[in-house]
Amino acid sequence: MKIYTNDDVSADSLKGERVAIVGYGSQGRAHAQNLRDSGVDVIVGVRTGGAGYEKAKHDGLPTAEIKDAVKDATIIAILTPDMSHAEIYTNDIAPYAAKGASILFAHGFSVLYGRVDARADLDVILVAPKGPGDLVRREYQRGRGVPSLFAVDRDVTGKAAQRALGYARGIGGTVGGVIETTFKEETETDLFGEQAVLCGGTTELVMMGFETLVDAGYRPEIAYFEVLHELKLIVDLLYEGGFAKMHSFVSETCKYGDLVSGPRIINEETRERMQEVLNDIQSGDFARDWILENMAGRPRYNALMRQDLDHPIEHTGRDLRSRMSWLQEKNNG
């Protein structure tokens, strides 16, 4: 497997190119600042007077309405939320983008599921850092970089891969290492990871563990520490060194419990449910459901979110976290 680094991608890959960053949220802000600091010609497409506009001006970046920002751009990075892509592309990009520009995404959802069907004269590329925007910016400022993925869905100009890799270098990705993928692979694995493990799987596991202990008569504060608070310690060990580092830092009793009880909780039935989730993603059922949910005003989404945020573990956690001075310093810093 080829991993692209600074040795493979010239610092001048985007010389003469202009990048329009559409949207100035977490990823947009990080990408725009990193590209600018890498010497790339950048303009931010935002609504004048909006929150993104104010932030971009504060950060010293040139701004314009989206339709004006994209006119002279050779790379147009759409970094707004997925559900906004179709409207923004149709109204503010398609009528104004220059012939031979590259439309760039940080996630392949809109292309894979047909939300954006780019003009035939435009390249379609992807650069996806494997981390949130604040991490992408912070690691760049430290002279490091977050590993990234890149993909070329359509190469009209013959420059699509060069532009994608140049963009990845500009945001620091080639310091962390860049791997080639496809829109399909990036999108389906990303959605599966979020739903089955990183967010959906983890939060449900934590809540069920909390409920099991509280229902058995243990105090909620003790249950919170055991199933949520200490989770960060384990995740940090896994992140830093995989299973081996985790096993080297936890007790022998913990290790034995891990080995004999883990498969009782996460078992073949869990694997079957995970396969169902993956099937829904691969078939497009999840995407259709999410698109229709947005069109209906998100009634189910809002109800489920309220249910999640009103769970007793949230009330217990807010009180306990308010007493953790290091978290207050971080949140206020």
Check the annotation: does 25 bind a ligand.
Answer: yes
Inter-residue contact 56 to 63 (CB < 8 Å):
yes
Is 285 marked as a binding-site residue? Answer: no
**Residue 24, annotated ligand binder?**
yes
The CA-based dihedral angle spanning residues 247, 253, 254, 257, taken in that order and rounded to the nearest 10 degrees: 110
- Decide if 14 contacts 166 (C-beta within 8 A): yes
CB 16 within 8 A of CB 5: no
> Measured between alpha carbons, how far is 220 from 238 in angstroms, rounded to an integer?
26
- 133 annotated as ligand-binding: yes
Task: Dig out the tokens for 161 from the structure.
Answer: 């891969």
H or E stretch including 185?
Answer: helix 183-192
- Report the sign of the C-alpha dihedral through residues 326, 140, 80, 132, in that order: negative
Closest CA to 205 of 253, 256, 266, 257: 266
251 is in an annotated binding site: yes
DSSP codes joined into one string, 238-297? HHHHHHHHHHHHS-HHHHHHHHHHHHHHS-HHHHHHHHHHHHHHHHTHHHHHHHHHHHTT
190 annotated to a ligand binding site: yes
Four-residue CA torsion sign, 53, 104, 157, 114: negative
Q: Is 230 annotated as a binding residue?
A: yes
Catalytic residue status for 107? yes
Q: Are 20 and 70 in contact (CB under 8 A)?
A: yes
| Residue 293 is assigned to a ligand binding site | no
45 is in an annotated binding site: no
Distance CA 78, CA 108 (A): 11
**Is 226 a known ligand-binding residue?**
yes
Q: Is 13 strand, coil or helix?
A: coil
Of these residues, 58, 107, 229, 311, which one is catalytic? 107
CA dihedral 82→84→90→92, nearest 10 degrees, is -120
CB 128 within 8 A of CB 148: yes
194 carries a ligand binding annotation: yes
Binding residues for Mg(2+): 190, 194, 226, 230
Binding residues for substrate: 251
Instruction: Report, as residue numbers or ranges, the catalytic residues.
Output: 107
Binding residues for NADP(+): 24-27, 47, 133
